[in-house]
Amino acid sequence: MFVRFALTAKLNFNNELSSDAKNSVEKTVTESNTVLFKKGVPKGTQEREIGRITTWSVEENTIYLFIESGTYTRAHDALFRFKKQITTALGKFRLGLRGIEISEYQINLSGEIPDGIRIPNLPFIKSYDLKSNEICLDLKVTAADLENKVPDRLVKLIEEKIQAMSYGGKGEHWDLVFASKPKPKQFTRDPTEEMVNRNWIRHGASRGQWIHGPQSVQLFRAFEQIVIEKIIRPLGFSEMIFPKLTPWEVWKRSGHAKGVYPEIYYVCTPKTRDPTFWEDVGDFFKVTGEVPIDMIREKMDGPIGGLCYAQCPSFWPFIQGETLATASLPIKVFDRSGTSHRYESGGIHGIERVDEFHRIEIVWLGTAEQTVELADKLHEAYHQVFEEILELEWRCARVTPWFMAQEGMIDTGKAPQNIDTCACDCGKRVGTTDYEAYLPYSDSWLEFQNVSINGDKYPKGFNVKIQNNEPCWSGCSGVGLERWTAAFLAQKGLDIEAWPDKIVKLVGEPNEIFKFL
Ligand code: SER
Ligand code: ZN
């Protein structure tokens, strides 16, 4: 893809430019084109790739500039470099810059443009021309937009869309790492149906939500105890409580703001908590027995964010902007304080694919080496648990990193960028490993937890540093309790006699407290 930028700008001064001032402009233009705009550009770069002022003129108080570029010292970067230079130069003539107007801004992307690409519907795009080998964008931007790198982000966005479309259909990547031995099929029914039959669970009033009865919770707690005793405690993780309402501020930094919208449970706040403002709503319900949703919608602010989705992002504001002492590294924490929510729409199934679920989220951070080392220790510990305690038929595979999937990014099979910052081969380890269990009833595999090395993504996003300026990395691992339960019951069935001894001991006899008539 070739990208070209072109802009026309007006630099307005407080006074008319004298002929001496005009000479100074000419000098600054030449200097900019020959020296200033070439700073930092690799030697041998073609002239047309580098920003340059191709036309300029002066009329009364105004300098008119036409700047063109490829991808080096892009037109807007050139503009700001020139601005700095010219304000100093004309300051000598008591001329002060009053403002910059961008009268035109064009971006031209040429290369193979896939059919059906959608040009973003954004206020910055005045008009566009779309051909099979070229996209021309006519922008409506202010100098502030240019300072905010709007053209660069637009180009990146379109390039990503093109890339996504050319990789489309190839699906997410999946590379097997380990597979356990097959286990004899003890049970072949859908465990959720069986749990419902035995009143271990019942549908909640909301979509994709279950009410877990005592027997189901006994299993959850047994699994939780295994995770605590065999993984969390031996590896030295400490419990924290992460918030379960995630504001945009967090999702902007975690990357979720890029694409999680179709799956969010949105959260709104009342416009006011003045009871008289809300009186009509209650009155309407009292008289009709219906809750007036539209009336409520009008009385709300927000959405301010959504319910917990990925669990670990809400941890990061705790250390945002801080530099951590080497002595405290690696930081090892976990959270099991509440539910996660995803709008799964048609995807809901059983207890394993739901809109509301329970997960233990394990988070660690430190140097790249420490992060990778902990991930390896977790893998070892999980391996033991699934082989020796749960006796599952399971496997694990390297998959599209969860943060890329959740951002709606495609996976090209390559590790994310800017991670080759350490001497070891850690960079190759960035990504997610999914653990999957075999489901005999559907002859398929269920992803029941993951372990991820997230590289420097989160420390960068939340501006967290470590002592000595070493690159800071982090990892996380989500243990889905519904998923563990679904996997375990699908393979072992609901009769306790058929379960491994260690599990029987932890769970105890199913606690039947409801007798329905
Ligand atoms: N945060 C990770 C995820 O959402 C692990 O739980 O998948
Ligand atoms: Zn996480």
Residue 43 and residue 175 in one domain:
no
The answer to whether residue 297 sits within a structural domain is no
Residues with CB under 5 A from ligand 2 (ion): 312, 476
Give whole-number Cα distances, 439 to 178, 189, 430, 442, 445, in Å: 17, 9, 29, 6, 6
The ligand that comes nearest to the alpha carbon of residue 309 is: 1
| Residue 49 dihedral angles phi and psi, to the nearest 5° | -80, -20
Q: Is 475 in the pocket of ligand 1 (CB under 6 A)?
A: no
Residue 321 and residue 233 in one domain:
yes
Residue range(s) defining the domain that contains residue 407: 170-180+219-264+309-490
Q: Is 401 in the pocket of ligand 1 (CB under 6 A)?
A: no
- What is the pTM for the complete model shown? 0.91
Q: How many helices (H) and strands (E) does the chain have?
A: 14, 22
The answer to whether residue 237 sits within a structural domain is yes
Residue 260 and residue 374 in one domain:
yes
| Residue 185 dihedral angles phi and psi, to the nearest 5° | -80, 110
pLDDT for 425 equals 73
DSSP string, 288-312: HSS--HHHHHHTEEEEEEEE-SSSS
User: By C-alpha distance, which of 258, 362, 255, 316 is closest to 472?
Assistant: 316
Q: Is 476 in the pocket of ligand 1 (CB under 6 A)?
A: yes
CA of 362 to the centre of ligand 2 (A): 7
pLDDT for 163 equals 86
Place of tokens 């005793």: 229
Count of alpha carbons within 13 angstroms of residue 46, beta-carbon side:
7
Residue 6 and residue 72 in one domain:
yes
The CATH number linked to 316 is 3.30.930.10
3-class DSSP state of 377: helix
CA of 80 to the centre of ligand 2 (A): 40
The answer to whether residue 502 sits within a structural domain is no
How many structural domains does the chain have?
2
User: By C-alpha distance, which of 72, 212, 250, 142 is closest to 510?
Assistant: 212
Type of residue found at 397: A
Residue 125 and residue 174 in one domain:
no
Residue 339 and residue 369 in one domain:
yes
Residue 117 and residue 235 in one domain:
no
Q: How far, in Å, CA of 149 to CA of 5, rounded?
A: 13
pLDDT for 44 equals 94
pLDDT for 169 equals 55
Residue 157 and residue 255 in one domain:
no
Q: Which atom of ligand 1 is nearest to the CA of 402?
A: 7
Residue 175 and residue 132 in one domain:
no
3-class DSSP state of 154: helix
Q: Is 402 in the pocket of ligand 1 (CB under 6 A)?
A: yes
- Which residues have C-beta within 8 Å of that of residue 376, sequence separation ≥ 6? none
Count of alpha carbons within 13 angstroms of residue 262, beta-carbon side:
9
CA of 165 to the centre of ligand 2 (A): 27
Residue 365 and residue 400 in one domain:
yes
Q: Is 242 in the pocket of ligand 1 (CB under 6 A)?
A: no
The answer to whether residue 342 sits within a structural domain is yes
pLDDT for 409 equals 77
The answer to whether residue 11 sits within a structural domain is yes
The CATH number linked to 104 is 3.30.70.1920
Last residue of a domain, one of 138, 167, 196: 167
pLDDT for 420 equals 47
The answer to whether residue 161 sits within a structural domain is yes
CB 363 within 8 A of CB 333: yes
pLDDT for 60 equals 96
The answer to whether residue 317 sits within a structural domain is yes
Q: Are strands 323-324 and 465-466 parallel, antiparallel or unpaired?
A: parallel
Q: Which atom of ligand 1 is nearest to the CA of 340?
A: 4
Q: Is 312 in the pocket of ligand 1 (CB under 6 A)?
A: yes
CA of 313 to the centre of ligand 1 (A): 9
User: By C-alpha distance, which of 38, 418, 411, 392 is closest to 226?
Assistant: 392
User: By C-alpha distance, which of 387, 390, 409 is closest to 400?
Assistant: 409
Residue 226 and residue 163 in one domain:
no
Which mean pLDDT values do the consecutive 10-residue runs of the chain (517 residues) have? Answer: 97 97 98 97 95 98 98 98 98 97 98 93 96 96 98 96 76 89 95 97 97 97 98 98 98 97 97 98 98 98 98 98 98 98 92 97 97 98 98 96 86 54 73 97 97 97 96 97 98 96 94 91
DSSP letter at 256 equals: G
The answer to whether residue 200 sits within a structural domain is no
Residue 128 and residue 94 in one domain:
yes
